[in-house]
Structure 1
Amino acid sequence: MSRTGVPSGVTAGFGPLPAEWRDFFALTKPRVMSLVIFTALCGLIAAPGSVHPVIGFTAIFAIAMAAGGSGALNMWLEADIDAQMKRTATRPIPSGRMRREDARDFGVLLAGSAVLIMGLAVHWLAAVLLLVSVLYYAVFYTLWLKPRTPQNIVIGGGAGAFPPLIGWVAVTGQITAMPLLLFAIIFLWTPPHFWALALFVKSDYARAGIPMMPVVRGEGPTRRQILAYALVLAPAALAPWWIGGAGGIYGVSAALLSVTFVALSVPVGLRRAGPGDAMLPEKRLFKFSILYLFALFAALVIDRLAAQQGWFA
């Protein structure tokens, strides 16, 4: 419904209503951006060496801008799909509050400015990675992966895995094993996180014709893959400690969080849900998966600060 109560964005024959600042803010996908900013900041703080606070702030600001621009481009490209899904029908474009062209221009402006700022003020390697992350999400994932393969989330997980890598490179200027492990953790976390959500909103994806795993392959294979990815994620989360890139605070935290993640994935992976099932295990796993990533990266930062300050020396 539009602000006037007219459905599907039709405003008495006069087209979309003038967009407000809230609509442009909604285009940036604030919830997703918050996770992007947080993991990027963790990568920046955990990186060896130091960076001037102004440069560090500029790097995080550029990453946030690029994430917002990517979200806007995603909504521009998926406006027709969003209109068919209950979960996304109230977004600015399908609800008629904004023209698609405005979302496109806003997205290009944000993303382009972000890459330029990162290159000129921080580091050109970080800028290239930022550009790749935008193209990966807005073009490779949105246009090619998502509508074509049930592995869309698996391969597309790389889009959300770039922020800590970029934050790390903004400080060090190089790509090493540690930031690649941070990339891998988010990459492996993405499928069980999104498939847990997809299990209880699969009718939305089916209605929109999106070949998500539960729609194309069924719930059984999806559940088994959720458990499989959780089992692979656990050692990957511990790898920074194993290679000496993080200390005991991170190691203990990663172990406890990963054991819990696997424990919550077991009932999802092994059970058979019937019609009308409340899907409580799936919802619990989805909610914990968000906490898991925040807590894991927070532990990395605390571990780094503890080492710097010699808290346990």
Structure 2
Amino acid sequence: MSDTSINTRACSTEHEAQFGDYFALLKPRVMTLVVFTAFVGLLAAPAPVHPFIGFCAILFIAIGGGASGALNMWYDADIDAVMKRTQRRPIPAGKVTEGEAFAIGIALSAFAVVFLGLATNWVAAGLLAFTIFFYVVIYTMWLKRWTPQNIVIGGAAGAFPPMIGWAVATGGISVESVLMFCLTFMWTPPHFWALALFMRKDYDNADVPMLTVTHGRPATRLHILVYTALLAVLAVAAGFTQIGGPVYLAVAITLNALFLRGAIRIWRRDEDMAEADNYLAERKFFKLSLLYLFAHFGAILIEAGIDKLGGLA
């Protein structure tokens, strides 16, 4: 066998899609948040759910979330190819074709919605279908490339999972599930704007109208502060509702004080300072934002467990 044929075969093998490439299409990091918040919504609901049905419900919700991620990568392949943060995704890396990503996304979307409806109820399935539609069509195809408010409005897509979990258990929507929706919805803008600040060149190069691109970084810092202050009020106030309690309040007061302090530090910075220290404050704020949401929903989960144990006593 000639050296040329060996090299050609090695190159084709190098670019063959592996299972991990197809799994990466589903955005597993995002899926983790979807699964966790849906799980909290399911267990925080007042109606009991059989463990097997609950497991199936969370599985189908996860698949639906992954399906929307695949469709997002299919449509955003051109943007992903020029952004440093996304260049290694399966499509721009040449591991998976756009057609494959689209087919996987559509097939998994239909599978997840239909089987969630059959396993639980059609209210939950309808919410999952609307979530996929909102993320792919409203956010990815329309808002993301059209308005700097893309993250604000599009954040609704990531806020629906706890409502879906609640609907799995109750068959409906309540004030409590809407509160969990609002918590995630208000958290999304400061979380992503902090990312946009220290990944600023990515959005500039991709010509995505992120707030940092259209209004500048000082305006983005002010928006982060305003949304963080509004989020703090909402998060602490939720502690006095049925999903709250002493554990939740302790977590909410502590984390929102830290989150607000971080937002104030970012707001007070200027561009010279930001360039000099490589946006360390923004990176710290972004990392804290990840802990923020998981901790709040973890506290809701603990409160739900306390309530259920109290009901058994």
Q: Deviations over 1:189-241 (max 9, x none)?
A: 00000000100111111101101111110011100010100100012112332
Instruction: Give the residue type in structure 1 aligned to 2:40.
Output: C
1:265 CA displacement: 1.0
1:257 CA displacement: 1.4
1:162-177 matches, within 5 Å, as 162-177=160-175
- Residue in structure 1 matched with residue 81 of structure 2 by the alignment: 83
- Structure 1 residues 232-241 or 133-142, which shifts more? 232-241
Instruction: Give the residue type in structure 1 aligned to 2:292.
Output: Y
1:263 CA displacement: 1.2
Q: Deviations over 1:270-311 (max 9, x none)?
A: 211314441111111100000010011001111111122139
How many equivalent residue pairs? 304
- Residue in structure 1 matched with residue 31 of structure 2 by the alignment: 33
Q: Matched residues in 2 for 1:129 and 1:239: separation?
A: 26
1:1-80 matches, within 5 Å, as 17-80=15-78
* Contact 2:152/2:189, CA 8 A, preserved across alignment: yes
* Contact 1:268/1:282, CA 8 A, preserved across alignment: yes
1:1-313 matches, within 5 Å, as 17-274=15-272, 275-310=275-310
Cα RMSD, aligned residues only: 2.0
Q: Matched residues in 1 for 2:127 and 2:80: separation?
A: 28
- Structure 1 residues 40-49 or 184-193, which shifts more? 40-49
* Contact 2:243/2:304, CA 8 A, preserved across alignment: no
Gap runs ≥5 in structure 2: 1-5
* Contact 2:56/2:119, CA 8 A, preserved across alignment: yes
SS at structure 2 position matched to 1:28 = coil
1:179 CA displacement: 0.4
Q: Matched residues in 2 for 1:5 and 1:83: separation?
A: 26
Instruction: Give the residue type in structure 1 aligned to 2:50.
Output: H
Q: Matched residues in 1 for 2:241 and 2:299: separation?
A: 16
SS at structure 1 position matched to 2:95 = coil
- Structure 1 residues 296-305 or 256-265, which shifts more? 256-265
Length-normalised TM-score, structure 1: 0.93
- Structure 1 residues 59-68 or 302-311, which shifts more? 302-311
Q: Deviations over 1:145-192 (max 9, x none)?
A: 000111100000001001111001110111111100100010000000
1:17 CA displacement: 3.8
* Contact 1:250/1:303, CA 8 A, preserved across alignment: yes
* Contact 1:273/1:279, CA 8 A, preserved across alignment: no
Gap runs ≥5 in structure 1: none
Higher helix share: 2
SS at structure 2 position matched to 1:146 = helix
Q: Matched residues in 2 for 1:5 and 1:133: separation?
A: 45
SS at structure 1 position matched to 2:155 = helix
In structure 2, relative to structure 1, the CA distance for the partners of 1:88 and 1:5 (3 Å cut) is farther
* Contact 1:181/1:239, CA 8 A, preserved across alignment: no
Q: Matched residues in 2 for 1:141 and 1:150: separation?
A: 12
Counting aligned pairs with the same residue, the percent is 48
1:89 CA displacement: 0.8
Length-normalised TM-score, structure 2: 0.93
Instruction: Give the residue type in structure 2 aligned to 1:297.
Output: F
